Amino acid sequence: MRRGTNLPAVGGFNQTVILDLIRRSGGGLSRVEIAEQTGLSAPTISNVCRRLLEDGLIVETGKRIQGPGKPRVILELDPKSRFALGVHLDPAVVTYAVLDLHGDVVSHMRRRTPSSGRPAKTVTAMASAIDEVVARSGVDRERLLGLGIAAPGPIDAARGIVVDPPLLEGWQNVPLRDALADATGLPVLLEKDVTAAVVAELWRNSEREDFAFFYLGTGIGVGLALGGEVLRGATGNAGEGGTLVVSGDLPPKRRSDMLGHVATPPLLVAQAIDAGVLADRADPVDEMFAELVAAAEAGDTAATAILDRAARLIASSIVSIVNLLDVAEVVFGGPYWDRVADRFLATIGELVNSSAHRVTRHPVTVSTSSIGADVAAAGAACLVLDTSLSPRTSSLLIST
Amino acid sequence: MRRGTNLPAVGGFNQTVILDLIRRSGGGLSRVEIAEQTGLSAPTISNVCRRLLEDGLIVETGKRIQGPGKPRVILELDPKSRFALGVHLDPAVVTYAVLDLHGDVVSHMRRRTPSSGRPAKTVTAMASAIDEVVARSGVDRERLLGLGIAAPGPIDAARGIVVDPPLLEGWQNVPLRDALADATGLPVLLEKDVTAAVVAELWRNSEREDFAFFYLGTGIGVGLALGGEVLRGATGNAGEGGTLVVSGDLPPKRRSDMLGHVATPPLLVAQAIDAGVLADRADPVDEMFAELVAAAEAGDTAATAILDRAARLIASSIVSIVNLLDVAEVVFGGPYWDRVADRFLATIGELVNSSAHRVTRHPVTVSTSSIGADVAAAGAACLVLDTSLSPRTSSLLIST
């Protein structure tokens, strides 16, 4: 059903527009500049800024002389006026991050994921780790806007449930959102990990509107932002990249020709063992993957061949995605990306842009996420910031 | 830049919301029902309805007695108050359609695409065909809201240019939008064919929010609607499905393992010639494709194998798309679809829903577009209707 709009809805929206503008301005803005950029009237801006000042979200930071009129008061975001907490549940590690309103990490912690297969125990451990990271950050709990969780899919977004992640033993239908809300007393949001990564990119880089986020974790995710909005899909489970079929020069003992079966770090490690580059042992994937990359860097031809092949397969999947969705930019990140960024980024960019299968000739930009390996935890916190503070035209509709 | 909103913007938006609601209601609505459904106040509704009545877009069609109060006046759309024209430029055929406000086709015409390789000649022919279809429809030219063109990609959406369609000889960088605007005097919109098909589905079926439109033309397109909005991509070229890689049981003399090289009607016809099902001759693809389908229907095992394989390959590409984008529904259409709908639809639905590679367990609904083979021409006209008449929260922002 389509709703109309009215004055109270408009007021709330204009407040988020002004706050967003001040936040993204960097050096602050005067009321006159806000009027120019938003098209809003001076009395509206005056009222909204008074409310934002009272709430402590913005501060007056001085005066700027510009032209012949009287000096203009500069309004800036107070980044330490509110905070958000993000948790990334990964099969190997749980990452905790406290972010300020700029999206900067003010405190940060990692804990190995309990391998008990008993989610209730993990939830208890997570709640106490949350207390610990908040205490360490020195942030007043009153100033926490909420807690975001990034979890591996599939999830039941509406009910806040982790449904059946392939690599988390015993995690079937766990109501993680409500369990952590009960345990912490905070408002909690649950999102798929790769979706959270997209939210982090959108929060931190206002110019990015249409992009794919290629997430290199234990599996491969492909999150999407289109027109400046994250794509969640019908049930919050968009972003699975592992089942994209790839072709060309596939590894010899491959499980299938799906990207998730030929180019993930665990399977690249397996290929390295098959090729005699690595010894067959039970060390953590992260460690062995680092060794594979180091071998390639040292000039090992078998190691180099394995990584080059993976880069080609990833590039070919990106060509399909670019053709299907017409994204202009691909951002790469996730826990394993940094190890291969130097090697992969230029190669993939070159292969995608020179591909004979590209439909348009528009260049596709490739870049590494500026947020680093903790992008999913930071993204989970950005979810909270975004939900609380971003302008959304849907909020203009009269609520039922 | 984010703009604020104000009263004039709100007024225009509420008018489109009310018109949209009346249009989609079927049997009409009273002002009281509009208030209930939109949340708008009685004076606002009264003002907006007066304007819509004056413009002739809606009419009062009687009174309905409901409960103890006085009878309520029913407002209905006047579907014949405005019209839109759609043109679909295809390598083989140009289709023309005049639609009323319900999106029903009131007049319709097809002409073979001139094979001159001289676009200027084709534009002249299109302009006179437009005059002809409008004259036949009996529609007063004053009541035409505009002309929409659906063209094969890639297009330059911003400049209204057909860039370089693979099968239209001589059509490089043709400014078709402006050429037809000059030739007809109508406002003109240009869109990629498969995107127009998505717009048609959205205009006619308000319940559909998240779906892929699988377009079986000379090539394969995959249009997308997410959250009730069509996905155009960064440059208006989203929807290329032909470069999705597929695997499994591929045809023997395939050109590659991309969907567009193994499952399009021209290549299925080629497979049928290779298999001895069809004689090798230069008849139109449409005719030979019909013969292939007829052979399968008559029990020819080679013909059946070719079509069954295509259905499996299409199903496997849909699994990748569903995993990537989490769409809940796939609608099938395009010029060649109707011939194979009976054979393909149930098979594809079964294969997609039972696939071991699906990430979520949510059922994916498959259906055939209700709009038929002219979906792209109808969609081009719906573009005009949608642009003129649909509520868009973005229109709430103060324009620069």
Helix (H, G, I), strand (E, B) or coil at B105: strand
What does the pLDDT read at residue A372? 83
CB-based contact A90:A65 (threshold 8 Å): no
Beta bridge partners, B109, equal B96
Class of domain A7-78: mainly alpha
Sign of CA dihedral B26, B32, B34, B39: negative
Choose between B166 and B287: higher pLDDT: B287
What does the pLDDT read at residue B400? 66
- Rounded Cα distance between A175 and A160, Å, is 6
Sign of CA dihedral A143, A194, A369, B3: negative
In terms of phi and psi (left: phi > 0; alpha: psi -120 to 50; beta: otherwise), the region of B30 is beta
CB-based contact B400:B123 (threshold 8 Å): no
Residues of A in contact with B236 (CB under 8 A): 326
Residue B397 has pLDDT above 80, yes or no: no
Per-residue pLDDT of chain A (400 residues; tens, 9 = 90+): 568 787 777 888 888 899 999 998 888 999 999 999 999 999 999 999 999 999 999 999 988 887 777 888 999 999 999 999 999 998 888 999 999 999 999 999 999 888 777 888 899 999 999 999 999 999 999 999 999 999 999 999 999 999 988 888 888 999 999 999 999 999 999 999 999 999 999 988 877 888 999 999 989 999 999 888 899 999 999 999 999 999 988 999 888 999 999 999 999 999 999 999 999 998 989 999 999 999 999 999 999 999 999 999 999 999 999 999 999 999 999 999 999 999 999 999 999 999 999 988 889 999 999 888 889 999 999 999 988 888 777 777 777 6
Q: 10 Å Cβ neighbour count for A5?
A: 27
Class of domain A207-369: alpha beta
CA distance A260 to chain B (A): 11
Amino acid identity for residue B312 in this structure: R
What does the pLDDT read at residue A88? 96
Helix (H, G, I), strand (E, B) or coil at A282: coil
- Cβ contact, residue pair A40, B316, below 8 Å: no
| CA distance readout (Å), B38 to B20, B21, B223 | 11, 9, 30
What does the pLDDT read at residue A340? 97
Residue of A nearest to B256 (CA): A247
CA distance A7 to chain B (A): 8
Per-residue confidence band for B176, with pLDDT thresholds at 50, 70 and 90: very high
Residue written as token pair 């947020």: A371
CA distance A262 to chain B (A): 14
What does the pLDDT read at residue B82? 96
CA distance B104 to chain A (A): 22
Residues of A in contact with B398 (CB under 8 A): 38-40
Residue written as token pair 């069509």: B230
Residues of B in contact with A231 (CB under 8 A): 226, 325
Helix (H, G, I), strand (E, B) or coil at A178: helix
Within 8 A by CB and 6+ apart from B229, the residues are none
Amino acid identity for residue B249 in this structure: D
Within 8 A by CB and 6+ apart from A166, the residues are A152, A219
- Cβ contact, residue pair B326, A233, below 8 Å: yes
- Ordered by start, the domain boundaries in chain A are 7-78, 83-201+377-389, 207-369
Within 8 A by CB and 6+ apart from B332, the residues are B213, B214, B216, B341, B344, B345, B348, B366, B367, B368, B369
Residue written as token pair 């006159």: A32
Residues of B in contact with A317 (CB under 8 A): 245
* DSSP alpha helix (H) spans, A113-205: 119-137, 176-184, 193-204
In terms of phi and psi (left: phi > 0; alpha: psi -120 to 50; beta: otherwise), the region of B364 is beta
In terms of phi and psi (left: phi > 0; alpha: psi -120 to 50; beta: otherwise), the region of B186 is beta
What does the pLDDT read at residue A132? 96
This complex has an ipTM of 0.91
Percent of chain B residues past pLDDT 90, beyond the cut: 74
Encoding tokens for residue B257?
A: 């393992």
| CA distance readout (Å), A29 to A75, A84, B92, B98 | 5, 24, 57, 51
Residue B117 has pLDDT above 80, yes or no: no
In terms of phi and psi (left: phi > 0; alpha: psi -120 to 50; beta: otherwise), the region of A85 is beta
Looking at every residue in chain B, the average pLDDT score rounds to: 92
How many CB pairs lie under 8 A apart between chains A and B?
199
Q: Residue A320 is nearest to which of B13, B234, B243, comparing CB atoms?
A: B243
- Rounded Cα distance between B119 and B122, Å, is 5
Sign of CA dihedral B251, B255, B259, B263: negative
The b/e string for A197-218 (b: 16+ C-beta within 10 A; e otherwise) is bbbbbbbbbeebbbbbbbbbbb
The yes-or-no answer to whether B83-201+377-389 and B207-369 have a common fold is yes
Q: What is the CATH number of domain B83-201+377-389?
A: 3.30.420.40
CA distance B219 to chain A (A): 13
- Rounded Cα distance between B234 and A211, Å, is 9
Per-residue DSSP letters for A291-310?
Answer: HHHHHHHTT-HHHHHHHHHH
B309-362 tens-digit pLDDT: 999 999 999 999 999 999 999 999 999 999 999 999 999 999 999 999 998 888
Residues of A in contact with B240 (CB under 8 A): 323-324, 359
- Rounded Cα distance between A36 and A32, Å, is 6
Residue of B nearest to A233 (CA): B326
Backbone φ and ψ of B130, nearest 5° = -65, -45
Sign of CA dihedral A315, A316, A319, A324: negative
B191-249 tens-digit pLDDT: 999 999 999 999 888 778 889 999 999 899 999 998 888 999 989 999 999 999 999 88
What are the CB-based long-range contacts (under 8 Å, 24+) for B257-261?
B257/A245, B257/A247, B258/A357, B259/B220, B259/B313, B259/B314, B259/B317, B260/B219, B260/B220
